[in-house]
Amino acid sequence: MSRQETRTYERFPIARRIEHLIMLLSFGTLGLTGLPQKFSNASISVSFINLIGGIENLRTIHHAAAIVLMLGTAWHILVMGYHVLVLRSRMSMLPSLQDVKDGWQALLYNLGLAKSYPQMGRYTFEEKMEYWAFVWGAIIMGLTGFLMWNPITATKYLPGEFVPAAKAAHGSEALLAVLAIIIWHMYGVHIKRFNKAMWTGKQTEEEMLHEHALELADIKAGIADRRPDTATIRKRQTVYYPIATILTVVMLGGVYGFVNGEQTAITTIPTRSTEIPIYAPQTPTPLPTLPPTPTSLPTNTVAPATTGESVTPTTLNWDNGIGQLFEQKCTQCHGVNGMEISVRMPRIPYGSINIHRGDPDGGKKNFFRAAFILLNITCFLVKNEGCSKKVLLPAIRIATMDVNIAVWNPWHFNANLACWWGIRLGLYKLINFLWYHLPYHAT
């Protein structure tokens, strides 16, 4: 009894186990480096990308694993061709109607509706589904990966919409494959019953009786692995090896073209470490010059031009204040006898003029009259050999203070109309004489 319990049967040779290990490593690497690219905004993806050394390193590892997977797939095709065409092994991995029946009976057994678990041959319906799912996934991942790896070459023969569609299909199929391995394969092989056949290459008789009862019966009957004689094998090898050589060259050429078809969309431009200077014109904008210091406003106390006595008038008007200021400023350039302001003072028609502060009759009319007087005084000063801005600014400031002008009109002339035309006439005179006589420098 103890001999039967410890007896083992070979299930996978060393070559198949190495092939499985290569597929395991390449597929796991593709999953670890592909999912962070699909879910690039997740914090764990960002941390993993930084741990690898950046997105470019992650893509390089992903592409290298893809190349290994393609080479492993090519090797698997050659091995399967040898077993089928040379050794004439049964294609027991092909699905059949019996697999559907076994799957249904297994479902009923798990639900408690069937009394026994189905007996299966070398490969169970679960293993066949996983195998063909891997084949289907490899085809989808290969085609969509080619479109993303070589988008320009692909769009020469296909519409451009195929590239983003390939990206969506590639990521979705990868997610489905990873979930199938984690949930289905891990449970069926390592959790429900820990199967060590892919590591040791053997299974015990108890394990074979539970999972592959029909294959165990064939082994004991001696019909499980019938190989042809040596001469037949050599004859078939002479036919298969040339075909396998051509197929190998074609597949290796396809892998090479897949990888080196073009160099697009796989290189990320590194971040520039040098600082880019801010735009600066060659000719710098000159700094603005400081404005001239304005002349301070005069006080009510004005010193006469001829005497040294100070006069403190009670009313600010032309004869007592403004006229003396103009006489003092103008005689600095023209001399005492150079001009006579009192003689050449302009006449204001239709009334007598009083300029004083605090007039209760001040209003809009007096404002226009004040403007009229100010403009005529300005024109008068400019006409008398010209006065500079330095001389005119104090007079303008004084005239625009809180000054009201009372006009007495014995002929009941329309004062508003007269002031309006007076302002227009005075403004015209001011512009004309300032243009031709007023210097632009301060004297």
Q: Domains along the chain? A: 2-260 (1.20.950.20), 322-437 (no CATH)
Average pLDDT, the chain: 75
Indicate the range of 82-86, 251-255, 436-440 predicted with least confidence: 436-440
Where does residue 289 fall: left (phi above 0), alpha (psi -120 to 50 degrees), or beta otherwise?
beta
Whole-structure pTM over 0.75, yes or no? no
Residue 361 confidence (pLDDT): 45
CA-derived radius of gyration, the chain = 54
Please tell me whether residue 203 adopts helix, strand or coil conformation.
strand
**Model confidence pLDDT, tens digit, residues 25-48:** 999 999 999 999 999 889 999 999
Residue 193 confidence (pLDDT): 80
**Model confidence pLDDT, tens digit, residues 298-355:** 555 544 545 444 445 444 455 555 566 666 666 666 555 545 444 333 444 433 334 3
**Model confidence pLDDT, tens digit, residues 44-85:** 999 999 999 888 899 999 999 999 999 999 999 999 999 999
Angle at alpha carbon of residue 24, lines to 6 and 79, rounded to 5°? 80
For 261, phi then psi, to 5°, come to -60, -40
List, in order, residues 6 or more apart from 146 with CB less than 8 Å away.
Answer: 154, 258, 261
For 361, phi then psi, to 5°, come to -90, 15
